[in-house]
Structure 1
């Protein structure tokens, strides 16, 4: 990542000697991001959050500060990529490492947003050697959260270029799109079931995602093996809301996590 943009991230992201308990969410972006952080820094995945329920690992280890991965909580530290601001003057959580808040992306300039994944942000920020990945793995990097879509639109290609080339310093990923059609990327999504969700079944992580295959592509198999053998228990319940912002203002007083999934649609969880 270009240093001028790294300097805009919250300071805590460079204190890697600190201990955190990772909070995994229910999709592939969060999973790969958590496995990567576990591999790089030894932080353990001790929580799982599916936006309805927060689960905690059943173990006897001491509790560390929670780090929310691909989750935009209103309070606490984390890495994410969602748009969370309703307008340029909106309050936001300054402890979340998120390119869309760094660039002040809101409903007002929603089409200028960073469409890449949290995983891609992490790889760039920590200068991970992604040259180790094969072409198919690199296509997956662009397929998660459909980062590739902007390239195939005349209106959005400049933003696709800006974030991949100028911000993340992944020029070769931008050029990879030039070698493929949009259908090639949708084929990758289908092949690896990238839209599939993660859930808890019999107190353990479960998914229709080809977890082993994906973890092998990114050299994260050891970390995955530990995760799938971890047992979890529910510790907190939430009300999950999908809301049309055009209807009325949102009361954020009891909101735990919040994101705009489309310009006029908010998804958030309320603490019970």
Structure 2
């Protein structure tokens, strides 16, 4: 078992976030379609008791109670609509002042300096979660979520900056440094971490190995069993950020629900 010192996210970085995240009691969560969001929701439930009452997969948004849409927090959801409080991890073209994300201040101009990691590890650090009792395999799974290990192999210095200095979890630098990329891709395949969460006939389904992950971490990691009613449908599109397309985006700003820069000049977004 690895023994870690207890750290917390660098205070100077925490100060960039609005303080809504400090107490989420009585809040409800919007789950998105992957293990990063599901595991993050699990952590937030353990910390504050908040439960998943919404689901968003970039093409549709649904709630367990379609008449109750107040007090929601998006988890691993880079919504850019007004007053959306969300935990995210992507660089966005339009900025949300209420996002908690290490990429909050990253733009196209400094895109290569982005944090290419998970919302899950951001949340663990934000709430000062002690990882000293985690086994090496558990830590390997954590750094495999959202393929976070990849950043180490194309920019070790940037990886160390985020994990050693900002998140203050230097153990991940040591963990990734011991193996090649294929080692972590094998972990992804072992637990099906790359599989989506899907909404079918109102209920959530996935091929992620939740049973295996629950056994590994000694937790009950399961999907909500509630029925979700779809209230909004979106078109999901990717575009090149040419000057002409930027003008179109600016005109359609009020219709855009969420966005993510997947490359410096390519934007993926969902709009009404």
Alignment TM-score, normalising by the size of structure 1: 0.88
* Distance apart, 1:228 and its partner CA: 3.4
In structure 2, the gaps of 5 or more residues are 1-8
1:23 pairs, out of 30, 54, 79, with: 30
* Distance apart, 1:21 and its partner CA: 1.1
Tell me the residue number matched to 1:88: none
Which range is displaced more, 209-218 or 74-83? Answer: 209-218
1:2-53 C-alpha deviation (Å, 9 max, x unpaired): 2222222211111344x21100011111111111111211101000001111
Query: Number of residues paired by the alignment?
Result: 257
1:71 pairs, out of 72, 77, 82, with: 77
Alignment of 1:101-116 (within 5 A): 101=104, 104-116=105-117
8 Å CA contact 1:72, 1:259 repeated in 2: yes
Which range is displaced more, 176-185 or 130-139? Answer: 130-139
Q: Aligned partners of 2:72 and 2:143: how far apart in 1?
A: 28
SS in structure 2 of the partner of residue 114 of structure 1: coil
1:10 pairs, out of 12, 15, 18, with: 18
Q: Aligned partners of 1:230 and 1:219: how far apart in 2?
A: 23
Q: Aligned partners of 1:254 and 1:51: how far apart in 2?
A: 13
Q: Aligned partners of 2:228 and 2:52: how far apart in 1?
A: 11
2:99 pairs, out of 75, 96, 100, with: 96
* Distance apart, 1:78 and its partner CA: 0.9
Structure 2 residue 268 is matched with structure 1 residue 267: yes
8 Å CA contact 2:85, 2:98 repeated in 1: yes
Tell me the residue number matched to 2:92: 84
In structure 1, the gaps of 5 or more residues are 86-90
* Distance apart, 1:263 and its partner CA: 1.6
* Distance apart, 1:202 and its partner CA: 3.4
